[in-house]
Amino acid sequence: MSSRAPDAVSGGPLEQDRDERVGTGGAAPPRGSRRSRHSRSSLSMIRLFDLSPDLLGAASPDGYFTLLNAAWQRVLGWTLDELMARPFLAFVHPDDVEETTAEISKLAAHGGVAHYGFENRYRTRTGDYRRIEWTIVPDIDTAYFVAKDVSDKRAAEAQRDRAAQMMRTVIESVADGLWVTDARGRLILMNHAGIRLLGYDSPDEVLGRNPHTVFHHRHEDGTPYPIDQCPLADVGPTGRRVHVGEDTFWRRDGVPVPVSYSSAPIATAEGAGSVVAFHDITLVQTERARLRAQVAEAEWFDEIRQAMIENRLELFEQPIVDLSSGRTYKHELLLRLRSRQGAVVEPRLFLPAAEKYGLIEEIDRWVITQAITLAASGRRVAFNVSAESIGKAGILMHIEDELARTGAEPGLLTLEVTETAVMDDLEEGKRFADRLVSLGCSFALDDFGTGYGSLTYLRQLPITYVKIDAQFVQGLTTDPSDRALVEAIVHIAQSLGKRTIAEGVEDEPTLRLLRDLGVELAQGYHLGRPAPSS
Ligand code: C2E
Ligand code: CA
Ligand code: CA
């Protein structure tokens, strides 16, 4: 069976020897005569053969096509005679000749086995090249083949690859997290910045899933975030862009990340998807909070100064009760600021600003004057002095002056200093405390157990009272380790001759247990809240 130009099918002489057929081209040597007889059915076969859109044919071991269907002419523009007149390698792109030769020798080695998928480029009559993909069945002395012109397919693939590669380059080069979802809202792409921000190792862990259910399923406070309320879900379907300045994504390890994001619709293979760019705003938020705090402090600075001028600082009193008698032994004076509207402001709100902006020493002096005035009227009081004032000669002198001026009995006064305050400079703290004690005042170590050097201070400072911090007292009846700690503190204090005061007593069982553990004095809401002095 053989064929030639398409007109051969429409009734031309089918039985011609090769010499005659190539005669018009004239260039090829005779390839030996191959004669066949054709029945009616083989005539239909030839028709079929020429109608096939695939490139069909056969080749001889010496490197010539011996049989080609009409599709060849349609694809390459050469007549079949022209194609058969020269070794087929003559039509192969020079860069593909070596590989083609290698494939042919492989074929010889694999005799009889169909061979798929090899591609090379064939020159057309107009001088450009078509990419041909081969399926070859070697037979004795002949290789039959079905080939396809895959030029357009490959060009489209290359175009797609280039577009995808460009998209990937763009997506990977942005510092922000970026993802793309398909028309059904599933992730089809996530860049490495995004993967890193969300705490994953590889995009494979999230691809194919809905981003909302993976890392946007809860609000900042941990409550569920239903997907039908998610602004991102609408972007693809409605084509509307979205920008959210502050929201929360959840990392794989369960840690929330504050983020801002923008989303726009994007065309994907099966419809409108969306592209989302997101940004970790932790630093922005921290910075914002810092600025807010700074503004608040500056406002407090002004408010404290005004309050001092307008006499709006007050001292509340809280009873400290003797556990053996149940009677109030003395009061701790606790600072309050009265706003212009009459509201009571607690020290945790304004003392940090006072310390930061250098107003604390003046406040401490004021407190000292009030405390010593109360002592002069026969009241037993404890008052707090800030870390900044410890060791200041001015403060010591102020105490001495006030004692002299009012004639107050120093034994009625206890100065409370936190561990962290003496920690700054132990030598200085010790000189300060020694001087106070020599004046006749008492010294209490506040918030005992919260610092690092509790025991050192206990040994080196002339302390009368140890105030057991509220955090150990509040868990006393429920937490065995708090109980063990309080027991140990009481034991150590007693053996060093110090008196103990428990802070933050809020209920009767705690009070009873403290008494049983040998604590001498107690203070807390259960015994009396801080209140304005009567
Ligand atoms: P602090 O000296 O340890 O005072 C005890 C704090 O515990 C007080 O808070 C008091 O109101 C609170 N408290 C008392 N009983 C209970 C209780 O049963 N439960 C709980 N949860 N809390 C209780 P406050 O008055 O807000 O004072 C806070 C801190 O401010 C004081 O801690 C002290 O370090 C400082 N401070 C207070 N007044 C002054 C002052 O006049 N001068 C200086 N420099 N600092 C002061
Ligand atoms: Ca105190
Ligand atoms: Ca305390």
Distance CA 30, CA 59 (A): 15
Residue 484 β-bridge partners: none
* CA of residue 314 to ligand 1 center, whole Å: 14
Higher pLDDT, 15 or 408: 408
Residue nearest ligand 1's atom 23 by CA: 504
SS3 content of the chain, % helix, strand, coil (to 5): 45, 25, 30
Q: Which residues contact 4 (CB under 8 A, 6 or more apart)?
A: 12, 21, 68, 79, 80, 81
Share of the chain above pLDDT 90, in %: 69
What are the residues whose beta carbon lies below 5 Å from ligand 3 (ion)? 446-447, 503
3-state secondary structure of 279: strand
Higher pLDDT, 195 or 12: 195
Q: What are the pLDDT digits (tens) for 116-160?
A: 789 999 999 999 999 999 998 888 888 899 999 999 999 999 988
Q: What are the pLDDT digits (tens) for 15-35?
A: 333 333 333 333 333 444 333
Take residue 30 and report the two structure tokens written for it.
């005779």
Does the pLDDT at position 75 exceed 60?
yes
**What is the structure's pLDDT at 113?**
65
Residue 349 Cβ < 6 Å to ligand 1:
no
Residue nearest ligand 1's atom 41 by CA: 335
- Could you tell me which of 95, 498, 488, 510 has the C-alpha nearest to residue 323? 510
H-type alpha helices, 446-479: 454-460, 470-473
Residue 236 Cβ < 6 Å to ligand 1:
no
Residue 187 β-bridge partners: 181
Residue 98 Cβ < 6 Å to ligand 1:
no
Q: In whole numbers, what is the pLDDT of the chain averaged over residues?
A: 88
Residue 335 Cβ < 6 Å to ligand 1:
yes
**What is the structure's pLDDT at 20?**
37
Long-range Cβ contacts of 16-22 (<8 Å, 24+ apart): 18/84, 21/81, 21/84, 22/81, 22/84, 22/85
- Could you tell me which of 298, 369, 292 has the C-alpha nearest to residue 335? 369
Higher pLDDT, 136 or 328: 328
* CA of residue 412 to ligand 2 center, whole Å: 16
Q: What are phi and psi for residue 321, nearest 5 degrees?
A: -105, 140
DSSP string covering 150-187, please? Answer: -HHHHHHHHHHHHHHHHHHHHHHH-SSEEEEE-TTS-E
Q: What are the pLDDT digits (tens) for 26-60?
A: 333 344 433 345 567 777 788 888 889 999 999 99
Residue 528 Cβ < 6 Å to ligand 1:
no
Residue 334 Cβ < 6 Å to ligand 1:
yes
Residue 35 Cβ < 6 Å to ligand 1:
no
* CA of residue 312 to ligand 1 center, whole Å: 18
Residue 355 Cβ < 6 Å to ligand 1:
no
Residue 521 β-bridge partners: 322, 501
Residue 256 Cβ < 6 Å to ligand 1:
no
Q: What are the pLDDT digits (tens) for 241-262?
A: 999 999 999 999 999 999 999 9
Atom of ligand 1 nearest to the CA of 334: 38
DSSP string covering 393-426, please? Answer: HHHHHHHHHHHHHHT--GGGEEEEEEHHHHHT-H
Take residue 115 and report the two structure tokens written for it.
């061979």
Report CA dihedral (114, 117, 122, 128) to the nearest 10 degrees: 160
Q: What are the pLDDT digits (tens) for 221-233?
A: 999 999 999 999 8
Higher pLDDT, 14 or 389: 389
Query: What is the average pLDDT across 472-487?
Result: 94
Does the pLDDT at position 79 exceed 90?
yes
- Could you tell me which of 487, 532, 524, 518 has the C-alpha nearest to residue 328? 524
**What is the structure's pLDDT at 138?**
83
Distance CA 159, CA 165 (A): 10
Q: What are the pLDDT digits (tens) for 344-393?
A: 999 999 999 999 888 999 999 999 999 999 999 999 999 999 988 887 88
pTM of the predicted structure, to 2 decimals: 0.61
Distance CA 133, CA 123 (A): 14
Q: What are phi and psi for residue 426, nearest 5 degrees?
A: -65, -40
Long-range Cβ contacts of 295-301 (<8 Å, 24+ apart): 296/353, 297/352, 297/353, 297/356, 297/357, 298/353, 300/349, 300/350, 300/353, 300/354, 301/353, 301/354, 301/357, 301/359
Take residue 313 and report the two structure tokens written for it.
């600082």
Q: Which residues contact 52 (CB under 8 A, 6 or more apart)?
A: 69, 71
Distance CA 381, CA 43 (A): 124
DSSP E strands, 433-507: 442-448, 465-468, 499-502
* CA of residue 476 to ligand 2 center, whole Å: 20
Distance CA 420, CA 447 (A): 9
Does the pLDDT at position 5 exceed 50?
no
**What is the structure's pLDDT at 306?**
95
Which of 349, 363, 370, 384 is the pocket-test mutation for ligand 1 (most atoms within 8 Å of CB)? 384
Distance CA 258, CA 444 (A): 44
Q: Scan for tokens 């190539």, then name that residue.
A: 22
Query: What is the average pLDDT across 154-180?
Result: 86
DSSP string covering 35-91, please? Answer: -----HHHHHHHHHHHH-SSEEEEE-TTS-EEEE-THHHHHH-S-HHHHHHS-GGGG
Distance CA 186, CA 300 (A): 51
**What is the structure's pLDDT at 9?**
36
Query: What is the average pLDDT across 103-125?
Result: 82
Higher pLDDT, 517 or 267: 517
Residue nearest ligand 1's atom 30 by CA: 347
How would you write 380-397 as a 3-class SS string? CEEEECCHHHCCCHHHHH
Q: Please, what sign has the CA dihedral across residues 432, 438, 444, 448?
A: positive
